[in-house]
Structure 1
C-alpha cells in the first residue's frame, strides 16, 4: 500500500495539502474525499486505505483553512471559494473523480457539479443535501465556537468532544486527536482550522437551499446520498426532496448520526464500495 503526501494549488494560488492512497499496479478509478467543516483529511484515512486496497486511487484533501492547508490571507471561505478549489484540484488530477463529500465537502461537490455539469464522474453525499436542519446547524456551530481560547490539555479537548457526542465511547488513546488540533504559541491546543472560516460559512446567500437546489436539478451523474438515521442535519423530508431533484440519485440510510464515517466507518465503506462498483464503474 502506498500513501504519499502531496500538494495542490487551489484558487488564488492557495496551497492545499493532500494524501494519495493506492495499491501500485492497480487503478480502478479515482476517488476524491472531502471532509466536513472543522475536520481534516485524516477523517478519511480508514476509508481511503480500504479503497486503495481494492484498487482505487484515493485522494484525501485538507480544504483551505483546515489541517495542513494554507489559511486564506483574506479570510475567503465562501462556497464559491471552496468550489473554485475543487475545480482547480480536478484540473490537476487530469481525470474526472468520484467525489465523496461529508457535510461542507458534500455541499462543495454538489454546487461544483450542479453549476458546472460534467466536472465529476460520480457524487457521494455523506449526510448532507441542499437543505439542512437549523437546529443541527446551530448545535454544530456552538461546538465549533465553544473554545475560543483553546484547551490547556488534550484531555480538555476530549472532554469537549465527549460532551458534544456523548453516545460515542471516549478513545483510549488521545494521540489521534492531535491531527485535529494545533499547538499555539501560548502552548494551548486549538482546533486545526482558521477561526475566520465560520464567518463565511454562515452566509446564507452562499449556502442557501435555493442555490443548492438549483445545482441539484442539474446533476445527471450517478449519485448516492448516505443519511444518518439519527442525524439532526438531514431529515427524511429533505432527503426525499433531494431525491426528487436528482433522478440519478439513490439513498442509503444507516444507523448513525451526522458523523457517519466516525459512527460506523465499516458500514459506510461497504456502501461506498458497492456504489463505486455497481453505479459508477
Structure 2
C-alpha cells in the first residue's frame, strides 16, 4: 500500500437540516485511490477523540479516515428540539456518506455501531463495503445498557475538578488502569460556570425515548440483510454484549465474523487499543471477497 501524508485536520459536514457536524480527518487531500475511506462513529456520550489512536494507525496505513462527532456530541451542533432519534442519527450519517466520494468502511461503537447497521443497509453494498461493530449487537444486554445510562446521568450536574471526573470514570471502568493525570479528560469535558461538564448535550439523555423493542427489530432486520463483510469486536469483560448475543448475531448475519479482546470491556477501543487497532487494520486490508472465518 502506498505511503501518504497522515496529518489530520478538523473539518465540517452538514447533517439533517444543515446541522453542523465536526470531524477530524486524516489524508483528506492525499491520493488514496483504490482504497476505501474509513468513517468512524463513536458511542453515546463520547466524541471523535475516542478514535484518535486507531485513526492515526489507519491513516499511516494509507487510508483516508474521518472521525465524526455525532450531533449533540463534541464540537458538533446540538440538535434543535433535542432530536437524537436513531433515525435522525442515521440520516446524518447517510448525508456524510453522500459527501464522501467512493466506497466507505464504517466503524461504529455502541450507538455508532447501531447507527452504522442502519446506514450500511440503506446506503447499499457499493457505498458501504465493510462494517466494524465495536461491542454492540441489536440484542444487547439491558443491564449493561442501564449501567451506561446511570454513569452518564450521574455526571449531568458536572464536577468540581478533573480529578472528580477521573474518579467517576475509574468507578465505571474498574478494570482499566487509571491514568496518572486527569488532563486527558479535557477532550471530553468543558469548563463553564466553575464546573467541568461532559461535552455532550444533556438533552441526549433526558429526551423521551422510543420503543426499544421496535428499535431492536429494525436493527435486526437491517443486519440480516447486510451482504457485506461485518466484523463484530467484543470486549470479553463487556456487560453490554453477551456470548449469547454474539452467537445469535453470527447465526443471522450472513457474512459476520467475530473477534474477542480479552483485556477489554464495552469501551473496547480504549481498553486495549493495540489489539483493537490490529484487528481493524487486518479486516480493512483484506479483500472484500475473502472470508476471515
Q: Give your verdict on TM over 0.5.
A: yes
Asked if 1:245 is matched to 2:246, the reply is: no
SS at match of 2:202: coil
Structure-1 residue corresponding to 2:277: 269
Structure-2 residue corresponding to 1:175: 183
Structure-2 residue corresponding to 1:129: 137
| 2:26 aligned to which of 21, 33, 56 | 21
Deviation, structure 1 residue 204: 3.0
Spell out the pairing of 1:103-182 with structure 2 (5 A cutoff): 103-118=110-125, 119-182=127-190
| 2:82 aligned to which of 67, 75, 79 | 75
* CA RMSD across the alignment: 1.7
How far apart are the structure 1 equivalents of 2:283 and 2:168? 35
Structure 1: 5+ residue runs without aligned partners?
none
SS at match of 1:234: coil
SS at match of 1:241: helix
Asked if 1:219 is matched to 2:226, the reply is: yes
How far apart are the structure 1 equivalents of 2:212 and 2:143? 19
Q: TM (normalized to structure 2)?
A: 0.91
In 2, are the aligned partners of 1:135 and 1:232 still within 8 Å (CA)? yes
How far apart are the structure 2 equivalents of 1:182 and 1:201? 25
Structure-2 residue corresponding to 1:101: 108
Deviates more, 1:24-33 or 1:143-152: 24-33
SS at match of 1:280: coil
Deviation, structure 1 residue 80: 0.4
How far apart are the structure 1 equivalents of 2:244 and 2:64? 35
Deviates more, 1:251-260 or 1:22-31: 22-31
Structure 2: 5+ residue runs without aligned partners?
1-5
Structure-2 residue corresponding to 1:236: 243
How far apart are the structure 1 equivalents of 2:227 and 2:56? 29
SS at match of 1:149: coil
Distance 1:207 1:120, change over 3 A: farther
Deviation, structure 1 residue 109: 0.5
Spell out the pairing of 1:41-52 with structure 2 (5 A cutoff): 41-52=48-59
Distance 1:201 1:53, change over 3 A: farther
Deviates more, 1:53-62 or 1:208-217: 208-217
Deviates more, 1:207-216 or 1:265-274: 207-216
How far apart are the structure 2 equivalents of 1:217 and 1:200? 30
Q: TM (normalized to structure 1)?
A: 0.95
In 2, are the aligned partners of 1:128 and 1:233 still within 8 Å (CA)? yes
